[in-house]
Each structure stands twice: as C-alpha cells, then as structure tokens.
Amino acid sequence: MAFVVAFLAFLVTALLQGQKPFYYDSGAYWALSETFVKAGHFSFLNFENTDLRGYGLPFIYFLLRNAGEFLGLADATTVAIFNAAVFAVVGAVLAPRLSRVAMPNVGWGLGRRLLLCAVLWIFWRGFLNYPMSDFVALALALVALCAVGSSISTPAFALAGASAALALDVRPAYFLLVPIVVILYVWRWYAGDERRDRRWILRFACLAAAVVVVSLPQSLSQHDRYGSWTPLPGGSGLVGLQYTDGLLLQRYDTYVGGSETQVQMNYLDNDTKGILEGLESGQVKSTGQYARIVVEHPVTLAGVFLRHLVNGLDQRYDTPYVEHLEGAANKPFRVAGFLLVFLALVRIAWPRSRRRLGPISWRYLVALLLCSVSSIASAVETRFLLPVFLLAAIFVLLPGWPSPVYPVGSGRSRYLPLAAIVIAAVVFFGVVAIVVSGASNSLVLGPG
C-alpha cells in the first residue's frame, strides 16, 4: 500500500513539473541507450563506450525506452513513470527493509514509510524528470545489502552479487560495494554455525558468477574499444578527472535557467591552488598520486574533505539542473536538510536514544555509507551523498525518541541532555554556516 500511494504521489509530481530537456549527463545516458542496436542488430559491443559511463544504466534505459515506444509514451513520460517507481521502492520498501535488517526490533508501519517518501519528495522531487544514475544506483545498492542481511540462500547470493555489480556499473563511485557484499557474507559465514556446510562454497560461486555475468558486457566493451578488461567504467581517466576537480572545486552545480545556454556553477577552493600548481599539467593522474598529496598536505586535505562533506549535504537545490539561482526561498529547505543530519547524529551519539533502538548491526548501515566515501574526494554535488541523506532520514524517523529533559526530581542534571544538544547544535550549525557561506562567496559561473 505504501508503495502504491508513494508511486502515485511521485508520478503526479513529475507530470505536474512538466517535461524537461535532458541536459548533460541525463541526455548522455538517454542517447547512449540508442547505441545498442546498429543495422537492426542488438549487441552489447555496439554500445558506444566513451570511457566515462558504463553500459548498465543505458541498457536499463534501452529496455525502458522500447517499452515506452511500444505503449506510445513520450520519452519524458516514460522517464517520469520509471523514476516515480524507483523513488517509491526506495522510500516505501528498500530503505525500511534495510533498517529492519540492521535494527530488527524497530518496525516500519505504513505511516512511517510514507513519511520517508515525503522526505524524499521534499528534498529530491526535482530529480523525477531526468534519466539520472543516482536513485537507480541507490536502489540497486539497497537490494544488494538487503539480500545479504535477509537470506543465505543461493538465490540471495546471486541477487546480491548481480545488484552490487550493476550498481557499480551505474555509478563507479560505488566501487566498494562488491567487496563489501563479499565481506558481509563472509562475516555471516564466520559468525554462524554453518561453517562446515559445503553449500556455502556453491553460494559464493553463484555470487562470483553473478558479478562476472553482469560485469562482462562492460569488460568486453572496454577491451573492444580501449584494450582493457577492466569492468570499472571510466578507468584511470575518470578517476584522475574526479580527483583534479575535487581539488579545484568545493562544490559543483549546473545552471540551466539562462536564455542562451547552460553554465557550470563552480564553487572554487582557494586553499588548494598551490597544490594544483605543483602538479604536472595541473592534474592528478592516479589514486596513488592523490594518496601522496593527502600524506604531504594532511591539514589542507582535511579541510577539503570537510568542505566537500558539508557542501554535499547542503540542499541548495532539489534538482540536478538549477533553473532559479539560490534565493530566500531556498534557505528553509537548506536549514531543514542540515537539521535532519544533525538530529541523526544526535540519535546515534546519544546513548539513551540509541539504546531505545535495540541491537544494531552497524555493518549494514556503514556499508551503505561507504558507497559515498569516494565522492568526498570529487567535486561534490548534493546527489553524490544521497546514501548519507537517506540514512539520516531513517534515523530521524525511527520511533522511540526520549525526552531531552529528565523527570522531575533529578535536580539540575535533568537539563544536561538538553544543554548538550543545544551546545552541539551551536557548534554544528556554526561550522555549517562558515563552510556554506565560503562556498557561496567562491561561486564562479563558467561555460557549459
């Protein structure tokens, strides 16, 4: 029921927002979906691998586009229906399921599922009209982690492997997900009483086979065009680009509200100019080189990561393609977004509040967080930290919040929790204000 209600709400919202041009990445994904068929013949090798994007999302859109054409739907309508379904399944089904896997004592009823969907609607509804990778990859990651935590059957192993591999292809930033899935299953195997059960060997074989099968089209495409067998889209070129931009910028957005063309919204990072000037061609070439930069400039890079984290959680806009530049109307949503994160931190750090959730298997929640960890080094966009935002919303919406004031009779100490929360809030929002205002002051509009 929650899925149906949420799906209809998301779909109506997408249709009311109207058709949107498929800008930049969204247009590239949709265009790539047309490259699998040449001269009337389908082949994964036909995929026009640009060494930046994997085959996974374009293939999903290939199937979606053909279904829409069969039904006589416009591309924009097809995308709206698909995105509404993805949003609804994330908010009403998968995120609550992961929460139950990690915190089995906490239930999710209809109301709480709809509240989570409402939070996604408030902050992310502008994504409903574009064929983007973010919510698709998130949904696939949730499927993989839910499968790991819910079952040790052979089909569950295969589902987890296939979902994790496809999530990696859709968003290369999720490169840790496949080894994380393996580690979580090894954890269950080691902690269980079935270590002598030889069926575990078959299950791990099925997981590996699923990863290979899903990754094979990308590997074949990479080899056909670039001579490499790597299943990771983008390779070192994409990695170097992200590291370089991550040093150059503390945030990135795209403005499409101009009358002539789209422009890049570059929030420059002035603290890293010296580092970039010292690099050959002003570019980072590899992960090893970036690691050396971190070791040589730990204080500067710590500041970079902090700015990326704060700016990545700054809900300046609810859309990947900005039509109206930041104004007074945006500020309540930005404050609400940071308040959500702060309350989630309070829920986790406050022992009395955390204990009310019962036993917590933190490994599943940390696994989802790690899907965003590589994005901290890149020129961050809010959508890159979507897994962090989702987990924050989950913790805030969970029941059992205690009162921050102890019962009467506790003396002056009854106000200690409230005082601690207030002080923490002042520090948290003080740091946030410094970082986001610095980003605003560093904004430079550039050509698209």
Burial of 269 from C-beta contacts in 10 A (0-12 / 13-18 / 19+): buried
Instruction: Write down the residue that tokens 């520090």 correspond to.
Output: 427
pLDDT in the model for residue 260: 56
Q: What is the pLDDT of residue 436?
A: 95
Within 13 Å of residue 206, how many CA atoms lie on the same side as its CB? Answer: 15
Strand order in the sheet with 263-268: 249-255, 263-268, 443-447
Over range 411-426, report the average pLDDT: 87
C-alpha–C-alpha distance, residues 217 and 229, integer Å:
10
- Give CA separation, 169 vs 136, 235, 253, 393, in Å: 11, 12, 23, 26
Residues 6+ apart with CB under 8 A from 237: 51, 52
* Per-residue pLDDT tens over the stretch 259-287: 556 788 999 999 988 888 888 777 888 88
pLDDT digits (tens, 9 = 90+) for 52-106: 788 999 999 999 999 999 999 999 999 999 999 999 999 999 999 999 999 999 9
Query: Average of pLDDT values for 307-335?
Result: 88
Whether the predicted pLDDT of 374 surpasses 90:
no
User: What percent of the chain clears pLDDT 70, i.e. is strictly above it?
Assistant: 94
User: Residue 258 has what pLDDT?
Assistant: 67
Cα–Cα nearest to 142, from 154, 159, 158? 159
Tally of CB atoms within 10 A around 260: 6
- Predicted confidence at residue 323, as pLDDT, reads 87
Say what the pLDDT of residue 193 is. Answer: 56
Q: What is the pLDDT of residue 448?
A: 52
> In the prediction, which pLDDT does 237 show?
63
Using CA atoms, how far apart are residues 444 and 441, in angstroms rounded to an integer? 9
**Distance, CA of 121 to CA of 199 (rounded, Å):** 43
Contact call for residues 117 and 6 (beta carbons, < 8 A): yes
Please report the pLDDT score of residue 446 as a whole number. 79
Mean local confidence (pLDDT), 339-366: 94
**Residue 396's pLDDT band (cuts 50, 70, 90):** very high
